[in-house]
Chain A
Amino acid sequence: MVWPKDVPSAPRSGSAQTGLRGRFRHWWLARHPVTDTWTLNQHNIYILPTRGGWAFGLTLLVMLVSSINYQLNLGYVLTFLLAGSGLVSIHLTHGTLRGLTLHLRPATPVFAGEPALLEVVMSNPGGARHGIGLRFQERPHDPRDAWCDVPEQGQASASLSMVPTSRGWHPVPALLVETRFPFGLFRAWTHWRPASPVLAYPRPEQPTPPLPLAQSAPGGAPQARQGQGSELDGVRAWRRGDGLRQVVWKKAARSGQLVSRETTAESSRELWLEWQATQGAHSAGAEGRLSRLTAWVLAAEQQGLVYGLRLPSQQFAPDRGDAHQRRLLRELALWH
């Protein structure tokens, strides 16, 4: 895994860090390495009785006392059978996690404010495992926690979503992988600090502001028209690099072939998205300008324009297509 240079090296501190307990937890977490592939073994799995486990112990004690007081040999058998099963469940619960290899798939970049999907793949070298839960360390239990079973010698994946609030690299918060299988008397868990961060693009301005005027490409006939108003001039077969919004879905549904809109100006115009041109963008300063530029990049790509980007320190030559769009969005996300 290549470590992006802009990523902060430690996970962002949460609100739970205040107080002694929070500090302890922070110290405890910091002892764990930061890695994208986390193999669970005896060093990194913790196991303790649950509240149900303590209650079970108490039940057993009451049953033992009853057996003694009423001299019930079958009562002894029952109590000891349950005690044996309970003790064995320590091993089974621990074994549900032991040997698993967890791997975090690189997350697709998202726009700030949109949920990013984190997919964790669990590889199982042994027998079938059940009831493995995945959640963020900082968040309490939640019915939406991801649960999965991992088949024998197979793989399974569970997904969590996190919502980055601002643009830039976001480290994935510490994850908690836990299980209470089979009896819920013990809970085995591990802390995992994934390495790969999530990239969040700036939040595009809503509603989409009108695109600036395009300049004709060198050698082309000057055409002054607003990009926003580009008319539908015709359709052509879909080509690699055409955006989804360019597809004429109605026609595609009828014919079964993907077809894209073609605008007359498509190849002949060159649009520069300029930092300077965003002066009126709200009053939000740099972030507002980046928001507007992001919205423009999206709109320009959607309309199939050839567009370039000029930031105060950098300039990116006009081009089009997915790769170009991603590159520009990434620059906008990381600009400072």
Chain B
Amino acid sequence: MALSTPPRALHRAWPGWRHLPRDSRDTLFQLAVIGWTILPHYAHLAPWCMALTALMLFWRAHLAVTNAPLPSRWAVAGVLMVAAALTLWSERTLFGKEAGVTMLVVLMALKTLELRARRDAMVVFFLGFFLVLTNFLYSQSLATAVAMLLSVWGLLTALVLAHMPVGKPPLRQAGALAARAAALGAPLMVALFLLFPRIGPLWGMPQDAAGKTGLSGTMQMGAMAEIANDDEVAFRIRFDGRVPPPEAMYFRGPVLTRFDGREWTRQPGANTMTPRLRSELQLLGQPLRYEMTLEPSRLALLPLLELTPDRSDAAPQLEGINAWLRGDLQWQTERPVAERLRFQASAWPMHRHGPRQMTLALREHVALPPDHNPRTLEWAAALRRRTDLAQADPRTLVAAVLRHLRDGDYLYTLEPGSYGKNAVDEFWFDRKLGFCEHFAASLVVVLRAMDVPSRVVTGYQGTDPTPVDGYYIVRQSNAHAWAEYWQPGEGWVRVDPTATVSPNRIIRGASLLPRQGLMAGALGSVSPQLLARVRSALELANNRWNQWVMNYSRGQQFKLLQSLGVQAPTWQDLALALISLLCAGSLAAAGWALWDRHRQDPWQRLQRRIQQRLALLKVPVQPHEPPRTRAQRVRQHLGLAGEALALELEALDRSRYGQSGRPGLARGWWKRFAALAAATGGR
């Protein structure tokens, strides 16, 4: 009992939710909705921002409960300046996505501190709607959608409350009114969503592209560590027939040849396939047919399954964007992919490529920067001097290095710390820690030091272990780097040094263990089957959501039009369909309005019907007579037989004109009255 009693000061200030004055209650409700909307940002905003926002919201709530005056404009402006300075300090800029969201959240909290006029309230609502949108920048999952639907409902409810100036309308009533308006607007939303032509970004947002993924065409040691923890979906893939094992799923991204001691970059000359390169590409065995849904990556490439050639029956068919196969077998697009793409393609897991004989072009693949990694060079020379390796071919040399990697206590970790100038030296001899890019880069350096042509390939490797609805999900955390070396007579051969050290990373395809929430943990210990079933149902719902809502793109729009009978639809057809639908809706509304104009007041219609029915019973009544007068006439003309009718008429009169009349009575009244009248007439 003592525990549940609030502190005395609070007790005095808090009159209980039901007894709060209306203004306080509305403000608290609004603050709760705003807090709920901001809450998902907790994961990716700076701690100071969340702390400041929470502080301001609680302060505002305190002011609302105690009915204290709002702070002066100067105080608010001061907090704003501090927030801007903090943003500048933590984000290094005031523009761009992160800084923008940070400022928006702070502004929202600040604006609640100066709700003085109706205009201020409207600003809060509009900021709130925009804030809901910012949540979608980070997640568009089903859970986010449901949470934000609640937010929108709350904001609309608060908006309705603000326009009900009389008395103290219950929250439930305002909520129902808001839900009704939203439900009435839903058909329009569906039509717009289905038919509004999806177009590419109107302008690029260069700041947001960088660092989003490691496949940017350059590589530095440690740059991929951040995205290794990024669970965001990169693409989904579904196989038409045979599904390859996860360890065979390599999705090819930029191929990095040049190394300046710090950074790996692409070979500038390999932009297109030459006839010679094409002739060197040899496809073996059966192809795999697959369908891929690529999320907007903002990179000018398609990470396709190795190896997808540019033959007309195998290459991806794309809408609205051109793509071609580079000389290093990476698929390049003409511009960064900013829309969701869905396409089908075929890949040959068994293939050979690259020159079979040593050429001058291969010399570029043994180049190393001078003055870097002297110990590695020395070690390579020592290996080369070993009797068993002196005359060995590249395959034997690679095997020797991999054996050293396996036996030398090298550790796979996502947090190896930062490396200095001679990073490869540090990796081989001092730290012996790293992840895919460290392994790949270090292997390539040592191979080149032994005069073996080799290069780094970046891309994705592996998928989520279990498919959902047939789709395997590849996440940003599946980003990977491996190596290729040149074997005389065979061409380029893939070697993945990471697999040597951490086979799990390759075979299971997941770099991180799936995290288990508290609920899932408790459920799993009680009933593992149930947990598995719940999880698969959730995954299924999520995947349906992904396929139907999140991935709804221009391709699906065109398919929709095709199923409606439009041949070869274009975006003009979409616009036309949308406009005609809207016109039809407007015409229907106009028609309704015309009909509504001639509609009669229900009360007067009821009175006319009563008059007609009484006329059948030979009771003459005038149009203007109220029900109680009609009750008297019924008594005069029908006597006792009409008593029941008269009582009903009097009840109707009371409900309309009485002090404590129930307004809803008229609904079921007519049926009762008509039945009574029929009974009376029959007698």
B343 at the interface (CB under 8 A from A): no
Does chain A have a CB within 8 A of B43? no
Interface of A (DSSP majority class) = helix
Q: Give the A-B contact count at a CB cut-off of 8 A.
A: 170
Chain B neighbourhood of A148, CB < 8 A = 166
Residue of A nearest to B594 (CB): A42
Q: Is the CB of B164 within 8 A of A153?
A: no
Contact, CB under 8 Å: B163 / A131: yes
- B549 contacts the other chain (CB 8 A): yes
Interface residues of A in 34-58 (CB under 8 A from B): 41-42, 51-52, 55-56
Rounded to whole angstroms, the CA-CA distance of A41 and B130 in the bound complex is 36
Of residues 84 through 132 on chain A, the ones whose CB sits less than 8 Å from some CB of chain B are 84-89, 91-92, 98-99, 125-126, 130-131
**Chain A neighbourhood of B196, CB < 8 A:** 76, 80
Q: How far is the CA of A77 from the CA of B182 in the complex (A)?
A: 12
For A41, the chain B residues whose CB sits under 8 A away are 597
Which residue on chain A has the smallest CB distance to residue B655? Answer: A153
Query: B155 to chain A: closest CB distance in Å?
Result: 9
Question: Is A62 a contact partner of B602 (Cβ separation < 8 A)?
Answer: no
Q: What bracket does the count of chain B residues touching chain A fall in?
A: 35 or more
Q: Is A243 in contact with chain B by the CB < 8 A criterion?
A: no
How far does the alpha carbon of A99 sit from the alpha carbon of B593 in the complex, in Å? 12
Query: Quick check: B185 and A86 within 8 Å, CB to CB?
Result: yes
Instruction: Please determine whether A82 and B152 come into contact, CB atoms closer than 8 angstroms.
Output: yes
Q: Which of A77, A148, A183 has the most CB of B within 10 A?
A: A77
Smallest beta-carbon distance A43→chain B, Å: 8
Query: Quick check: is B186 within 8 A (CB to CB) of the other chain?
Result: yes
Provide the residues of chain A in CB contact with B159, threshold 8 Å.
182-184
Contact B201 A87 (CB under 8 A): no
Query: Which candidate, B136-144, B480-488, B670-678, is the interface stretch facing chain A?
Result: B136-144
User: 0/1 per residue, B126-160, Cβ < 8 Å to A?
Assistant: 10011011001100100011001000100010011
Q: Smallest Cβ distance from A32 to chain B, in angstroms?
A: 18
- Asked if B160 and A182 make an inter-chain contact with CB atoms under 8 angstroms apart, the answer reads yes
Asked if A298 CB lies within 8 Å of chain B CBs, one says no
Chain B residues positioned under 8 Å from A63 (CB to CB): 129-130, 133
Among the stretches A65-73, A234-242, A272-280, A310-318, the one at the interface with B is A65-73
Is B524's CB within 8 Å of the partner chain A?
no
- A82: B residues at CB distance < 8 A: 129, 152
Q: Which residues of B contact A323 (CB under 8 A)?
A: none
Docked-complex contact A88 and B184, CB < 8 angstroms: yes
Interface 9-mer from B512-520, B526-534, B660-668: B660-668
Q: Is B340 in the interface zone, CB < 8 Å from A?
A: yes
Report A155-198 CB contacts with B as 1/0, cut-off 8 Å: 00000000000000000000000001111100000000000000
By a CB distance below 8 angstroms, the chain A residues around B203 are 69
- Flag the segment in B77-85, B187-195, B448-456 that touches A: B187-195
- Contacts of A84 on B, CB cut-off 8 Å? 182, 184-189, 192
CA–CA, A133 and B340, complex, Å: 49
Which residues of A are found within 8 Å of B603, using beta-carbon distances?
125, 153
Nearest to B128 among chain A residues (CB) is A59
A99 near B164 with CB under 8 A, answer no
A78 within 8 A of B: yes
Q: Which residues of B are found within 8 Å of A212, using beta-carbon distances?
A: none
- The size class of the interface chain A forms with chain B is 35 or more
B192→A83 contact, CB < 8 A: yes
* Cα of A228 to Cα of B668 in the assembled complex, Å: 65
Complex contacts, A88 vs chain B, CB 8 Å: 181, 184-185, 188
- Is there a chain A Cβ closer than 8 Å to B118's Cβ? yes
A73 — which chain B residues lie within 8 A by C-beta? 140, 340, 549-552
B601 at the interface (CB under 8 A from A): yes
- A74 and B140 contact, CB distance less than 8 A: yes
- Verify if B2 is at the interface (C-beta below 8 Å from A): no
Assuming the A-B contacts A74-B145, A88-B181, are A55 and B664 also in contact, with contact meaning beta carbons closer than 8 angstroms in the complex? no
Complex CA–CA separation, A126 to B202 (angstroms): 47
What's the least CB distance linking A63 to chain B, in Å? 5
Cα(A309)–Cα(B156), bound, Å? 65
Among A76, A126, A152, which residue has its beta carbon within 8 angstroms of that of B193?
A76
CA A69 to CA B185, docked complex, whole Å: 25
Instruction: Tell me if B199 counts as interface (CB < 8 A to partner A).
Output: yes
Chain A residue nearest in CB terms to B151? A78
In the complex the two chains form, is B166's CB within 8 Å of A89's CB?
Answer: no
The answer to whether A74 and B664 touch (CB under 8 A), given A59-B126, A181-B164, is no
Report if B589 contacts A (CB, 8 A): yes
Q: Which residues of chain A have C-beta atoms less than 8 A from B597's C-beta?
A: 41-42
Q: Is A10 an interface residue when CB atoms closer than 8 A count as contact?
A: no
- Any B CB within 8 A of the CB of A136: no
Instruction: Check A67–B133 contact: CB distance below 8 A.
Output: yes
How far, in angstroms, from A154 to B189 measured CA to CA in the complex?
34
Is the CB–CB distance between A87 and B160 below 8 Å?
A: no
Is A321 located at the chain interface by the 8 A CB criterion? Answer: no
Residues in B neighbouring A74, C-beta threshold 8 A: 136, 140, 144-145, 148, 549-550
Which residues does chain B contribute within 8 Å of A78, judged by CB atoms? Answer: 129, 132-133, 136, 148, 152
Question: Are A81 and B601 closer than 8 Å at their CB atoms?
Answer: no
| A154 near B661: Cβ-Cβ < 8 Å | yes
Among A73, A80, A92, A149, the one with the most B-chain Cβ atoms within 10 Å of its Cβ is A73
Instruction: Judge whether B136 and A131 touch: CB under 8 Å.
Output: no
Task: Give residues in A with beta carbon < 8 Å to B.
Answer: 41-42, 51-52, 55-56, 59, 62-63, 65-89, 91-92, 98-99, 125-126, 130-131, 133, 147-149, 151-154, 180-184
Sample of 22 A–B contacts (CB below 8 Å): A52-B122, A62-B130, A70-B137, A71-B338, A72-B133, A74-B136, A80-B193, A81-B152, A81-B186, A82-B152, A84-B185, A84-B186, A86-B185, A87-B188, A125-B601, A126-B602, A131-B164, A133-B165, A149-B164, A149-B167, A153-B656, A181-B163
Which 6 A-B residue pairs are closest in the complex by CB-CB distance?
Answer: A84-B185, A84-B188, A85-B185, A125-B601, A80-B192, A80-B189
